[in-house]
Amino acid sequence: MAQEPKNVEETLECYIYAETEPSAEQKKGFTDFLTKKYKKDIVLRWLPDNNISKGFKLVVDDDIYDWTEEGRFGQFRDLLEGIRTGGSASGDGRYDLDRPAEDGRDLVTLIKSSVEEWSLGAIAEEEGHVKTVGDGIVVATGLDSAEYGETVIFDSGIKGMVQDLRANDVGIILFGKDDDVLEGSRVRRTKKTAGIPVGDDFLGRVIDAMGNPIDGKDPINADGYRPIETPAPGIVKRQSVDTPMNTGILSIDSMFPIGRGQRELIIGDRQTGKTSIAIDTILNQKGNGVICIYVAIGQKASSVAQIVGNLTKHGAMDYTIVVSAAASETAPIQYIAPYAGCALGEYFMYKGKDVLIVYDDLSKHAIAYRALSLLLERSPGREAYPGDVFYLHSRLLERSARLSDEFGGGSITALPIVETQAGDVSAYIPTNIISITDGQIFLESDLFFSGQRPAVNVGLSVSRVGGAAQTKAMKKAAGTIRLDLAQYREMEVFTQFSSDLDETTKKQLTYGQGLMRLLRQPQSKPFKPHEQIILLVTATAHLMQDIPLDDINKYREELLNHYHENEGSLCEKLDRTGQLSDEDKSDIIEISKKFTESFGK
């Protein structure tokens, strides 16, 4: 037995798990090692374990020294995973095989030298036990050094994430069903932040919040791994938003433009066309080099399948990833879904690409987080939401940015969706997200049911980026359309007294009605930039004044066909340059005027 060390205060009982009993010499080696490390008198006991064919496991309180074949391989794998070649310099967490290492060595040399220098060490693994489990929430003891956001793994193989740190235990949310997690079962730290696999192969796929494919296709080959929560890019890494993210929706692109790197809220009551606007925006990115991510939170699986079918039908799944956390999933899965989608977007953004991400919707996300918080016994505040619910969405949406050229020039444009009750935009969650975003598109129920679709309320909608995110052609073509519509909405109340109105007022009302009808747009049929410019120039020149309202859709379709067939060079020039010269504007007015005179004849 080892000589008793100085300053020993108590005895420490240790267990060694192995198939065969260690020899006396081996026991002495273990005892000497543990005495030196823990400064206590060691009592070593052997427990036979037929599952360990090679090596052993040494358990000291909550520390586990895994010297089995599997444990040694895990240590070596962690060594290789820790080798970064360039990613750490930019702070984006990427593994870049094409760039040299920071010290000038290439990847092969770096791995070779690391392997030669590596030696197996005893790594203490902290282990705890389940105290209580239920509703997707686990309270565990013994994980004294666990960190917030760290992934833990249970005996059954189910993973979870540390969500609550307390004096004597930790609260864990489960990424799976809690049927196989029992009271008293073991839980082990991984010392890794919860994350998601990322890579180009995710394009065109439907995945769950953990990155697993759920579309019935082949497994996905990941290029790397990103934490689901990372700090937002700092001011130095950003540049101003000045490049349009065209939606193809005339009413939005002309009055409430969205720029690449912007956060524009889509808000309105249930069944007012919020998702339709987001899907049309995704369809409009075809051929623009924009990667789209659609995050479905708390929706029916059938609704998500319908959206995927629509995207596939229009060829949009080639550049789109769908992340689904359906209503049947647990609250923890719905909670992490938008962060997982954002992590995927950041992978592409840091590669210099432009990303459009839709969060549908953050109302259900807030409800899922409220359920988690109440189950974790956090005190509720206003409207029963926890006090940190603002931080829930701010740390998500602040990750949307347009990076400066020095950091690749990529961007993430966010379109969060929020559902209101009876048009109440002053409720807790809507006001929180309105204050975080760079503007909102407000959809009104009355407009929707009157047939005005998209039902955009001109008075309550706003883009705080404004004309900076429009091309000069669009800015010039849109002109005073928003002001004209606002004036029409004020005068609309007088339409019932049309027989008593003067001729000028009647013309203004007719013009406003024509504009409103022009802004009605079929679903899944976004307009190209040159089509929007032609329609706006024609409308603001009052050339549609005498067209009957019921004929405006037909007029619009035939007008655009006329330009495509006879004025192809002008259409191409408008798209290519993004400019609208006075000469081009005059030409459009003249061409549209001649077409209007012949329309219907």
Whether the CB-CB separation of 174 and 330 falls below 8 Å is answered with yes
564: Cβ contacts below 8 Å, ≥ 6 apart: 571
Pairing label, strands 265-268, 411-419 = parallel
Alpha carbon distance, N-terminus to C-terminus of the chain: 110
- CA 406, distance to chain mean position in Å, is 24
Q: How many CB atoms lie within 10 A of CB 276?
A: 18
460: Cβ contacts below 8 Å, ≥ 6 apart: 425, 440, 442, 444
Whether the CB-CB separation of 325 and 334 falls below 8 Å is answered with yes
162: Cβ contacts below 8 Å, ≥ 6 apart: 143, 146, 147, 148, 149, 150, 152, 170, 171, 172
Q: What angle do CA 540, 545, 547 make, to 5 degrees?
A: 125
d(CA 428, CA 430): 6
CA dist 184 → 59, 128, 141, 465 (Å): 17, 9, 10, 55
Whether the CB-CB separation of 265 and 394 falls below 8 Å is answered with no
DSSP SS3 for 366: helix
- Comparing C-alpha atoms, which of 541, 587, 537, 534 is closest to residue 564? 534
Starting at the edge strand found earlier in the chain, the sheet holding 320-325 runs: 206-207, 320-325, 290-297, 354-360, 411-419, 265-268, 439-443, 462-463
d(CA 247, CA 249): 5
Q: Is 125 exposed, middle or buried (0-12, 13-18, 19+ CB in 10 A)?
A: middle
Q: How many CB atoms lie within 10 A of CB 358?
A: 29
- Comparing C-alpha atoms, which of 293, 297, 256 is closest to residue 417? 297
Task: Give the length of the chain.
Answer: 601
Whether the CB-CB separation of 194 and 305 falls below 8 Å is answered with no
Q: How many CB atoms lie within 10 A of CB 11?
A: 9
d(CA 127, CA 150): 14
**Where do the DSSP E strands lie in 436-572?**
439-443, 462-463
Is position 205 annotated as part of the catalytic site? no
Pairing label, strands 320-325, 290-297 = parallel
Q: Is 578 exposed, middle or buried (0-12, 13-18, 19+ CB in 10 A)?
A: middle
**Tokens 């992340």 sit at which residue?**
323
Q: Of 464, 482, 489, 520, which one is the catalytic site residue?
A: 464
Q: How many CB atoms lie within 10 A of CB 568?
A: 10
Active site members? 464
